[in-house]
Amino acid sequence: MDVDKNGQIDCWEFMQFLRVQGYKDYADHKLFQILDIDKSEGLDFWEVMTLYYIIKSGRPFCWSCQKFITAVYFVCVNCFEKSAAPVYLCPGCYEACKYRHSHGPLPPQFLDNYTILEAHRVSSLAKSPSIANMSALPPATTAYSSSSQAIVPAIFLKAYRALEMAASIGTLGVIVASCSIM
């Protein structure tokens, strides 16, 4: 990346490298500025390592406004389950309905990244024979539709019930962490 060998990656080097490597979506001046924590107008080793983490972890860009999403995002459930390129929306575009996306006659179904992660975790726990209490959850066989047009598939309803049960018995802790990456 460091073409001029000065120990830092400037914006031009950053964008050229990402384009050549096939990461053209990441080759953005705004992302460079986000990564340049010390505002030195060059990326040092740890700032480049942050870029590597972002690329390898698949951090998304908003499908509508094309901005890099650094926190909570919404993803189309149908696309997430069935597509190699799911539709992600930043909170602003989701809230303002700044998207045109459908899967036929049904309205799009969006959930936030934390809900999807929790549903995946609970689903994995339910499949594990070592988790005896999961059978105490009522079966999640129906979907819940709210007035916001968001549809909660059965697996997410099960995750919500597991979360409610954990909270009711006092075993759910709240973890607040700060991340210097974002």
Average pLDDT of every residue of the chain: 76
Residue 90 clears pLDDT 50, i.e. is over it: yes
Residue 46 and residue 37: Cα distance in Å, rounded? Answer: 10
Q: Assess whether pLDDT exceeds 60 at residue 151.
A: no
Is 0.85 topped by the overall pTM? Answer: no
Q: Let me know how many helices (H) and strands (E) the chain has, helices first.
A: 7, 5
Q: Are strands 151-152 and 144-145 parallel, antiparallel or unpaired?
A: antiparallel
Residue 19 has pLDDT above 90, yes or no: yes
The verdict on 119 and 159 lying in the same domain is: yes
The CA distance from 67 to 139, in Å, is 39
Q: DSSP string of 50-94?
A: HHHHHHHHT--B-TTT-PBP-S--EEEHHHHHH-SS--EE-HHHH
Triad 122, 146, 152: Cα angle to 5°: 25
Flag whether pLDDT at 144 surpasses 80: no
Nearest residue to 94 via CA among 122, 113, 116: 113
Instruction: Tell me the C-alpha distance between 11 and 27, whole Å.
Output: 9
Q: Is residue 5 part of a domain?
A: no
Domain encompassing residue 85 = 74-168
Total domain count for the chain? 2
Task: Give the residue with greater pLDDT, 64 vs 170.
Answer: 64
Residue 134 tokens read as 């999961």
Beta bridge partners, 103, equal 106
84 and 160 inside one domain = yes
The amino acid occupying position 7 is G
The one-character DSSP state at 97 is: T
Tally of CB atoms within 10 A around 76: 22
- Indicate whether 36 belongs to any domain: yes
Residues 51 and 131 in one domain: no
